[in-house]
A = this chain, B = another copy of it.
Amino acid sequence: MPEQTMTMLNGLDLEKMYQTVEKLKAEPSLAACEFRANNNWISGGQNQSAIGDFYAAGADQKRDTPFLMQADEPPLLLGKDSAPNPVEHLLHALASCMTTSMIFHASANGARIESLRSRLAGSIDLQGFLGLSDSVRKGYQNIEVTFEVKTDATTDELARWCSFSPVYDVISRSVPVTVRIERIDA
């Protein structure tokens, strides 16, 4: 089906993307989404979230089986290290969202991304979480995001596209997030 193949860019179906955007332009209320999670504490630092249904395109959207995600703490933080800890999950949320945003907006602009990786590092001073100091912030004090990208798109375009990320929007209004874009020769 060569006609179908021609609408794919960076693994995204451009025709479906344009149709979705046109639909939302015509009826903006369809852009309202609600995402949901249900968490169960297990013991100590261990707990589990189930991610199932969400609301989008004017209706509840069902998943046959919810995704299960674990959290724990390393032994240094009194856990069993059976899963990433919550602040590590936050970095995954940020990395995955900036990545997806860059890919979606590149595709919408006709730019091919050949490869895309990122490294994230965030600093936290545990005195805040432990209540040992009121002057120390509980959350991340700063986060560094470094992308390695192979593409013909310009660095300015890449920086603009990843800034559409909803998770970046949430975190960067609260924590200084430094974004570096390193280019690999295409």
A residues adjacent to B (C-beta < 8 A): 10-13, 16-17, 20-21, 24-25, 28, 31-47, 49, 51, 54, 56-57, 61, 63, 67, 69, 71, 73-74, 76-78, 81, 83-97, 99-101, 103-105, 113, 115-133, 136-140, 164-171, 173-175
Partner of A37, one of B40, B92, B133, B165: B92
Q: Which residue in B17, B51, B56, B138 is a CB contact (below 8 Å) of A92?
A: B51
A165 touches which of B21, B77, B101, B138 (Cβ 8 Å): B138
A84 cross-chain contacts in B, Cβ below 8 A: 51, 67, 69
B73 touches A127 (CB 8 A): no
CA of A159 to CA of B89, assembled, Å: 22
Q: Are B129 and A12 in contact, CB atoms less than 8 angstroms apart?
A: no
Please, which residues of chain B bring their CB within 8 A of the CB of A101? 129
- Taking CB atoms, residues of chain B closer than 8 Å to A131 are 105, 164
Residues of B within 8 A of A127 (CB): 24, 28, 31
Question: Residues of B contacting A169 with CB < 8 Å?
Answer: 128, 137-139, 174
Residue in A34, A69, A76, A168 whose Cβ sees the most chain B Cβ within 10 Å: A69
Sample of 17 further A-B pairs with CB below 8 A, known A39-B92, A128-B164, A128-B169: A11-B46, A17-B78, A24-B130, A37-B119, A37-B120, A39-B95, A39-B119, A44-B103, A47-B95, A51-B92, A73-B100, A85-B100, A101-B129, A131-B164, A138-B166, A139-B167, A170-B174
Q: Is the CB of A99 within 8 A of B132?
A: no
